[in-house]
């Protein structure tokens, strides 16, 4: 198994697949949205050095997953929490191989390089799942956009320049 990572900005041909994954998983949270609109939005946000930064996991040359380091998720509820990891998705055929954990670790590494001291996430897994195993701490369980979720935080020791 050869797992590598790339900026989505360097793999723009992957945008339609990633948009499809995100739409199929979370599209119901944006009624009226289309896959085409999501593809267009993602193409407009391809970055390497400023947020949002999307990272793709590539396993043996196949697109296997994606995660994003971004600003202000759940802003209406947590305006003081600036940095978030989100949109973590592993293709069903690649689940159970540690790719989600690897993506989360990669996002944390990028956040450290950006000088970020604290990063948040939300998950529908009210136990914290793999994030709890990776050292993320529970903040609170919340009802948000018609679902129960868990908000978590990870304190980071930033790497010096």
What's the CATH number where 22 sits? 3.40.630.30
Q: In what order do the strands lie in the sheet with 137-144?
A: 3-7, 53-59, 62-71, 83-90, 118-123, 147-155, 137-144
138 within domain boundaries: no
133 within domain boundaries: no
Q: pLDDT at residue 146 above 80?
A: no
What pLDDT does 161 receive? 47
* Angle, helices 15-26/35-43, rounded to nearest 10 degrees: 130
Which residue, 61, 62, 85, is CA-closest to 73?
Answer: 85
Q: Tell me the mean pLDDT in the region 102-120.
A: 95
Q: Tell me the mean pLDDT in the region 142-153.
A: 88
Percent of the chain past pLDDT 90, that is, above it, reads 80
Q: pLDDT at residue 109 above 60?
A: yes
Beta bridge partners of 89: 66
95 within domain boundaries: yes
What pLDDT does 76 receive? 85
Averaged confidence pLDDT in the chain: 92
Task: Using pLDDT thresholds of 50, 70 and 90, give the confidence band for residue 159.
Answer: low
Whole-number Å distance between alpha carbons of 82 and 149: 18
Q: Tell me the mean pLDDT in the region 48-77.
A: 93
Q: Tell me the mean pLDDT in the region 39-57.
A: 93
Whole-number Å distance between alpha carbons of 85 and 54: 10
Supply the pTM of this predicted model: 0.91
Which residue, 108, 109, 97, 114, is CA-closest to 131?
Answer: 108
38 within domain boundaries: yes
Q: pLDDT at residue 33 above 80?
A: yes
What pLDDT does 160 receive? 52
8 within domain boundaries: yes
140 within domain boundaries: no
145 within domain boundaries: no
Q: Tell me the mean pLDDT in the region 79-88.
A: 95
65 within domain boundaries: yes
Domains identified in the chain, total number? 1
Domain that holds residue 43: 3-115
């Amino acid at each position: 198994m050869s797992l590598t990572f790339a900026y989505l900005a360097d793999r723009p041909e992957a945008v339609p697949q990633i948009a499809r994954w995100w739409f199929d998983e979370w599209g119901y949270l944006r009624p009226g949205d289309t896959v085409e609109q999501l593809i267009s939005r993602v193409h407009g946000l391809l970055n390497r050095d400023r947020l949002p930064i999307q990272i793709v996991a590539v396993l043996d040359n196949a697109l296997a997953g994606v995660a994003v380091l971004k600003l202000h998720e759940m802003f209406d509820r947590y305006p003081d929490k600036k940095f978030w990891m989100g949109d973590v998705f592993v293709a069903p055929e690649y689940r159970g191989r540690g790719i989600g954990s690897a993506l989360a670790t990669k996002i944390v590494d990028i956040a450290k390089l950006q000088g970020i001291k604290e990063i948040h996430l939300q998950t529908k897994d009210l136990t914290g799942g793999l994030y709890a195993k990776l050292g993320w701490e529970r903040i609170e369980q919340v009802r948000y956009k018609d679902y129960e979720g868990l908000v978590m935080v990870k304190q980071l020791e930033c790497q010096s320049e």
